[in-house]
Amino acid sequence: MKHLIKSVIYFIGSLLSKSKRSKILYYHDVTPEHGEAYTDMSTPFELFAAHVAQVKRAGFEIVPRIESVHGQVLIAFDDGFRGVYENRARFVEWGVKPTIFLATTLVGKPGYMTADEIRELQEQGFVFQCHTVSHTNLQKFGAEELRHQLVDSKRELEQMLGREVDEICFPQGYYSDTVVEACRKAGYKKMYTSVPGDYEPDSDLVCRNLCQFEPMSRFKLILKGGMNLLRGHYLKRHYKNI
């Protein structure tokens, strides 16, 4: 029943949306083609392959950076799990250069990519950005700890990657006005939320659509803006006016 309601909401959302608006789709990992998942948030290989094919069939270009409000899709992964690395040959074959958000304390932990693997993917055009130090809800922190989470992770990642890191993704999606201001002050130009929606070029807060377990019927609707009606619901859950 829950699935049916979701499908109806996505269907109505897709009817109300402007067609082919660029958007960001996000996942956590893709299960290795012939292996086991590293996390229970991992998308089965066949489902992810079908999503990629559908994005192309729907006429979207999969890009490492969105530069147009129409016709482009950016694929993002949170946390830096190993499945993406193990499937790297497939990503290259598909022309998918995702943005991957890393929490510095998770790099090299069991189930996560190591610094060498991350650099290898960067060489192939994968993009790495920040997901804080400890992957904790940022709403909870005072100024000092918030600065540590935002600034020290940025510096450490820049040293590891040898390039500027200027985008961040909020752990578990949680943020507030204080968090947004602190991110801007720390030098972040884009902040990725877990609130669904289309790509908005004039905002530094970026909407993302969670697709990791979406069956094809609903995935097609998401590409047409199907999740847009849920914006209020997600904002209430993830954003605090403090």
As measured in angstroms, the least distance from the Cβ of 202 to Zn ion is 26
Confirm or reject binding of residue 29 to Zn ion (CB under 5 A): no
Tokens describing residue 205: 């807060």
Q: Which of 100, 107, 106 is nearest to 130 (CA)?
A: 100
Rounded CA-CA distance 123/150 in Å is 25
Tokens describing residue 5: 């309601």
* One residue of 21, 37, 79, 91 binding Zn ion per CB under 5 A: 79
Candidates 37-45, 75-83, 91-99, 115-123; binding stretch for Zn ion (CB under 5 A): 75-83
Cβ-based nearer residue to Zn ion, 180 or 223? 180
As measured in angstroms, the least distance from the Cβ of 65 to Zn ion is 21
Confirm or reject binding of residue 117 to Zn ion (CB under 5 A): no
Candidates 46-54, 76-84, 174-182, 198-206; binding stretch for Zn ion (CB under 5 A): 76-84
* One residue of 14, 23, 45, 78 binding Zn ion per CB under 5 A: 78
Task: Name the residue number minimizing CB distance to Zn ion.
Answer: 78
Helices (H), the chain: 2-16, 45-57, 82-86, 88-94, 115-123, 143-147, 153-161, 177-185, 216-223, 231-238
Cβ-based nearer residue to Zn ion, 39 or 54? 39
DSSP 148: I
Residue pair 211/26 in contact by the 8 Å Cβ criterion? yes
Q: Contacts with Zn ion: how many residues (CB under 5 A)?
A: 2
As measured in angstroms, the least distance from the Cβ of 46 to Zn ion is 24
61-65 long-range contacts, CB within 8 A, separation 24+: 62/94, 62/95, 62/96, 62/97, 63/97, 64/97, 64/98, 64/99, 64/125, 64/126, 64/127, 65/127
As measured in angstroms, the least distance from the Cβ of 103 to Zn ion is 7
Candidates 61-69, 71-79, 195-203, 219-227; binding stretch for Zn ion (CB under 5 A): 71-79
Rounded CA-CA distance 155/149 in Å is 11
Candidates 34-42, 53-61, 62-70, 79-87; binding stretch for Zn ion (CB under 5 A): 79-87
Q: Which residues bind Zn ion (CB under 5 A)?
A: 78-79
